[in-house]
Amino acid sequence: MKNFPVIHKTNRLIILCYPLFSGGKFVANCLAFSKHCHPQHRDLLGISYEDFNTELHNRLNQVVPEWVDLHMGCNELFGFDWDYEQDWNAPIIPKYVQEMFTGDEYFCKTAHGDAIVKNYKCLFPNAQVINFVNCEDFISSRGEQAQPDIDVDSVYEWNCDWFRDAQKTSAGIKNLYSLLNMPDWNLVEQYIEPYRQRWLDTILQ
């Protein structure tokens, strides 16, 4: 951090706080349909709406029988694991990551505990936190051990009960686009329900 005092000022970082298996990567991918939010893989930066939709569905076809987050996540986007990296110094941070922190597009980082969120907020005080609630039933429906919600301050609460309902899921994502001032919801909306249904069919089978 000492060599890059500007990156900690970013307000483009979205921290998705949720217990494991609560659907956080689904929400991250729904946000990443927008031209104003980066996908969670550095090879997909700048991808078109249609190509990103095709990419997600192709990756869903490859995860059965084991769920592997579509091989898209924080490590695939940033190139290193924030949970273990101690120094944010020049040799560690790739140039494209520096540009992400000083750019205009949003990007997501997941967190699975209140202490982790606190740590990220200390590093990046202008980051926006989206917290997931009513997680336990959804986690159990995936055949995983239920975990309680994480109690953190946030700018938005995602209700995991919405995943079962097409209209509520779409409305929740639309609200996030509005909250984040991402203006291309009308171009993205058509992709959300087919992706939701294909995702649920995959993880709940």
Digit-coded pLDDT (tens) for 98-126: 888 899 999 999 999 999 999 899 889 99
User: Which pLDDT value is given to residue 91?
Assistant: 52
- pLDDT tens track for 23-75: 999 999 999 999 999 999 999 999 999 999 999 999 998 876 666 678 898 88
Q: Is residue 1 part of a domain?
A: no
**How do beta strands 13-17 and 107-111 pair?**
parallel
C-alpha–C-alpha distance, residues 110 and 113, integer Å: 10
- pLDDT tens track for 143-200: 999 999 999 999 999 999 999 999 999 999 999 999 999 999 999 999 999 999 999 9
Q: Is residue 87 part of a domain?
A: yes
User: Which pLDDT value is given to residue 4?
Assistant: 52
Q: Is residue 163 part of a domain?
A: yes
Cβ proximity of 136 and 148 under 8 Å: yes
User: Which pLDDT value is given to residue 88?
Assistant: 55
Q: What is the dihedral of CA 118, 156, 83, 44, to 10 degrees?
A: -150
Structure tokens at 102: 């000083």
Q: Is residue 29 part of a domain?
A: yes
Report which of 3, 5, 7 is spatially closest to residue 103, judged by C-alpha positions: 7
Q: Is residue 35 part of a domain?
A: yes
Q: Judge whether residue 8 has pLDDT over 60.
A: yes
Cβ proximity of 50 and 43 under 8 Å: no
Structure tokens at 138: 């959804």
Q: What is the CATH number of the domain that holds 123?
A: 3.40.50
What is the residue range of 81's domain? 7-203
**What residue spans of 128-184 are helical by DSSP H?**
136-141, 166-179
Q: Is residue 65 part of a domain?
A: yes
Q: Is residue 17 part of a domain?
A: yes
Tally of domains in the chain: 1
Q: Is residue 2 part of a domain?
A: no
Model confidence, pTM: 0.92
